[in-house]
Structure 1
Amino acid sequence: MKTFVSTIIFCVCFALLHAQSVRILSYNIHHGNPPGDPNKIDLPHIAEVIKTANADLVGIQEVDVRLSRSQMVDQAKELADLTGMHYFFSKGIDLEDGEYGTLILTKHKIVGNKRYDLPMVEKSENRSLAIVDVELSNGKVLSFANTHLDLKAKNKVAQANYIKELGARIETPLILVGDFNAKPNDETIKILEEQFIRNKSTNGPTHPNIGAKNEIDYIMVSKQTKFSWKTYKIIPETYASDHLPVFAEIEITLQ
């Protein structure tokens, strides 16, 4: 009997030692422009939202780098400086003499990064997928992907299929976040759900910022990742952007 109890205790302790809590934020920041003040750029407020969430991994969409509408600031570097986090910027398009795209911020060391151009069936604004590999405090590596899918339906479907197929080939635990410009019952989300798990119990609308009625921003986890949801919620931050931030905390088992 003692041997059986000891074995159970050992198994539980082993599992706990290899489980880690990870806090995640996804946020379309509308290039730092509060919708209620068209002439203002307020990156410090965006940074405060991120710091208050105390997220380990942050996926940000609609980021300007040296554009006139946002005072020629490199918003990727500025947000990294304001939050004290490591960063990886992924260009979607060239604009003026600068760039426009997505940003990953992380408290953890980035040990690898990749950027992919997403497929386009119809002519539209180029979109990208960024993936970073980060080394967690226990020395294990976790992959984190961030994207902003196109508005056009055919492009979204093609991009979702591309991400699904790429995600299936990634062997490390993988988290996917972003503005997918798609509602839960759309084909785009159904395709992604073939490879990724989304929260269906405490999720909610993320757009627009006032009177939100559409869920188009998501945090998903690949099916090959052993995890459980600890928290999943929409943060009621209505000032800084036309989207609401999405926050999740997961308990992930790393081998």
Structure 2
Amino acid sequence: MEGMVMGMLKKLLVCLIVFSCWSLIGKSGYADDSLSFRTMTWNIWHGGREDGEKIGPQRVVEVIRQSKADIVAMQETYGSGEWISEQLGFHFHPRGTNVSIHSRYPVLEDISVFEKFKCVGALLELPEGRKLAFYSIWLPYNKEIWIEGTRDFNDLDSIKSACDASREDLQKMWSLIQERLSDAKYADIPIVIAGDFNSMSHLDYIKPFRNQFDGVAIDWPTSHILSDVGFRDAWREIHPEVNRKEDRTWTPRFPKQQQDRIDFIYYRGSRLEVRDAVVIDEHTQKFPSDHAALVTEFSWCKPTSSQSLRLVSYNIKHGLGNDGRIDLERTAALLNNLHADFIGLQEVDNKVRRSGMIDQAQTLGKSLGMNSAFGSFMDYQGGKYGLGVLSKYPILAANEIKLPTGNEPRVALACKVQLPDDREIMVINLHFDWVKDDSFRFQQAKALAKYLDNLTLPYVLMGDFNDQPQSRTLDLLSKGTLSAVKPSQDRFTFSSTRPTIEIDFIFAAPRKAWQFRFSRVLNGKLTSDHRPILAVLELKP
């Protein structure tokens, strides 16, 4: 009896864990929660029947239903698809025996290309007449490199060549998709390409995280095909720091094999923003597949003439990670995954001995293809210590705003930037005094508020405020601004390993000039002691 009770408790605990993971989706800090949908990609493994002709597909249905996915890109459908869609009440759009699409929304048109075993496409009609081009794909591989002992790490070219087939097929697929959607009627329709790629990503096997990948860095070619033409990797955008254990979709059933991220959801289109992404690999009885399911929630942004801007604020601690290593490449890799227009960096070194005598703001800017500016707090170890701004657009002027000295000297960095429509805005980055007594901090805030009051251009204000909501510092600087409000259940920005306080913020003013789209705090447990914050705002015409 005791064993039975313990077994039931264990199942209940697993269920609660799975539910908590799924329930995180949809709670991001968005202005409009009504225009969202969830996509899943999942290779269900021989029709989901590995654990039984009936019980396996039933578990597949349960996983999909509990995930609340609206659209599923399925691989290895193999005769189970029609029954699965019937149970879900979905539209079933198959092609061949392998790939299929299951959609809560009607299928308007078949837009399939390439071989029927590997690619199926559908033009879907979402609520309010919105249209989405959605593809489910399966890519082959040349040889086995996941079973123990099949990778020769002294011959990386041989390992890399195992994914040549996936690269070649995806290149052909994408060319045909472009041709299929070349008519003007498809011009503004977002595209989602999801599936089992049987290849890893060039965003994962990188030098800063090679210790997670048997000490090697590999520039996998398959993932470049879509990334290089403007598609975004939805998972990596929400999880910008590589974590092999948490990222992996292959394989929950064979833990001794190489654990890798080989299932992807890519998207392209200005109307889509990623809200969240989770990997699902648990079921209360037994997970029915050798692949984990990847679920991504998107927000559909209504057409607007406003200028959309992606803003990031990040205290990088001069590139010093929580492992005690200074690694600016790791910082750059995380920031690269966020696709920001503007980045406010705090705790930045400029030719300081401890960080290798390099200009960190300039180095990060070059790595990300962005313009850079640096503001100095003080001289330090042969160089200068302060903060920086990175901008996708031209920086017309950069000025240090002197602030009252606290425990250390402080400045704010104000950059005048020219947007693509030729309008100009100010991007202001700050890092206030850190001690518990807010006397110095509030004096710095008052000096900055005086500067802001005299601005005639719209501005964004971001940084490490070292103070919390409802403090007099935040009350002063947020007055009359549009606040990039974070999701209530995940708003803490410090520390990155055990977040307990919210001290990093993004604001925009004047309030009437801006529209809030969304904001969220992202994880980076290794890269710095702060978590980066991302906000998307629109500057009205």
Determine if the alignment matches structure 1 residue 68 to structure 2 residue 353. Answer: yes
2:413 to 90, 109, 130: 130
**Structure 1 residue 201 displacement after superposition:** 5.2
Determine if the alignment matches structure 1 residue 241 to structure 2 residue 528. Answer: yes
1:97-112 matches, cutoff 5 A: 97-112=382-397
Determine if the alignment matches structure 1 residue 86 to structure 2 residue 360. Answer: no
Partner SS for 1:143: strand
**Structure 1 residue 196 displacement after superposition:** 2.9
Distance 1:225 1:26, change over 3 A: farther
**Residue type at the aligned position of 1:199:** A
Determine if the alignment matches structure 1 residue 148 to structure 2 residue 431. Answer: yes
2:332 to 41, 47, 52: 47
Q: C-alpha separation between the residues in 1 aligned to 2:307 and 2:527?
A: 31
* Aligned residue pairs, count: 235
- The answer for the alignment partner of 2:319 in structure 1 is 32
Q: C-alpha separation between the residues in 1 aligned to 2:531 and 2:353?
A: 25
- The answer for the alignment partner of 2:308 in structure 1 is 21
Partner SS for 1:60: strand
Q: Provide runs of 4+ in structure 1 moved above 6 Å.
A: none
- The answer for the alignment partner of 2:465 in structure 1 is 180
Q: C-alpha separation between the residues in 1 aligned to 2:504 and 2:457?
A: 23
Partner SS for 2:337: helix
**Structure 1 residue 228 displacement after superposition:** 1.4
Partner SS for 1:190: helix
**Structure 1 residue 186 displacement after superposition:** 1.4
Higher strand share: 1
Cα displacement string for residues 188-233 of structure 1 (whole angstroms, at most 9, x for unaligned residues): 1111122433234526100001120110011111235511111100
Partner SS for 1:53: coil
- The answer for the alignment partner of 2:84 in structure 1 is none
Q: C-alpha separation between the residues in 2 aligned to 1:224 and 1:251?
A: 11
Distance 1:166 1:95, change over 3 A: same
Q: C-alpha separation between the residues in 1 aligned to 2:430 and 2:484?
A: 18
* 2:486/2:521 contact within 8 Å kept: no
Bigger Cα Rg: 2
* 1:167/1:195 contact within 8 Å kept: no
Relative contact order higher in (CA < 8 Å, ≥ 6 apart): 1
* 1:24/1:247 contact within 8 Å kept: yes
| TM-score in terms of structure 2 length | 0.42
* 1:197/1:220 contact within 8 Å kept: yes
Q: C-alpha separation between the residues in 2 aligned to 1:251 and 1:142?
A: 12
Q: C-alpha separation between the residues in 2 aligned to 1:194 and 1:250?
A: 18
- The answer for the alignment partner of 1:161 in structure 2 is 446
* 2:458/2:509 contact within 8 Å kept: yes
Q: C-alpha separation between the residues in 2 aligned to 1:161 and 1:215?
A: 21
**Residue type at the aligned position of 1:228:** Q
Q: C-alpha separation between the residues in 2 aligned to 1:74 and 1:118?
A: 23
**Residue type at the aligned position of 1:63:** V
- Gapped runs of 5+ residues in structure 2? 1-302
Q: C-alpha separation between the residues in 2 aligned to 1:112 and 1:98?
A: 22
Determine if the alignment matches structure 1 residue 227 to structure 2 residue 514. Answer: yes
1:211 to 487, 493, 498: 498
Cα displacement string for residues 49-82 of structure 1 (whole angstroms, at most 9, x for unaligned residues): 2211100000000011122221222212211111
| TM-score in terms of structure 1 length | 0.88
- Of all paired residues, the percent bearing the same amino acid is 29
Cα displacement string for residues 109-146 of structure 1 (whole angstroms, at most 9, x for unaligned residues): 111221111113xx520011111111111111111000
Cα displacement string for residues 128-173 of structure 1 (whole angstroms, at most 9, x for unaligned residues): 1111111111111111000100124111111111222211211111
* 1:199/1:232 contact within 8 Å kept: yes
Cα displacement string for residues 216-252 of structure 1 (whole angstroms, at most 9, x for unaligned residues): 0111112355111111000112110000000000111
- Gapped runs of 5+ residues in structure 1? 1-14
- The answer for the alignment partner of 1:11 in structure 2 is none
Q: C-alpha separation between the residues in 2 aligned to 1:224 and 1:215?
A: 22
Distance 1:224 1:197, change over 3 A: closer
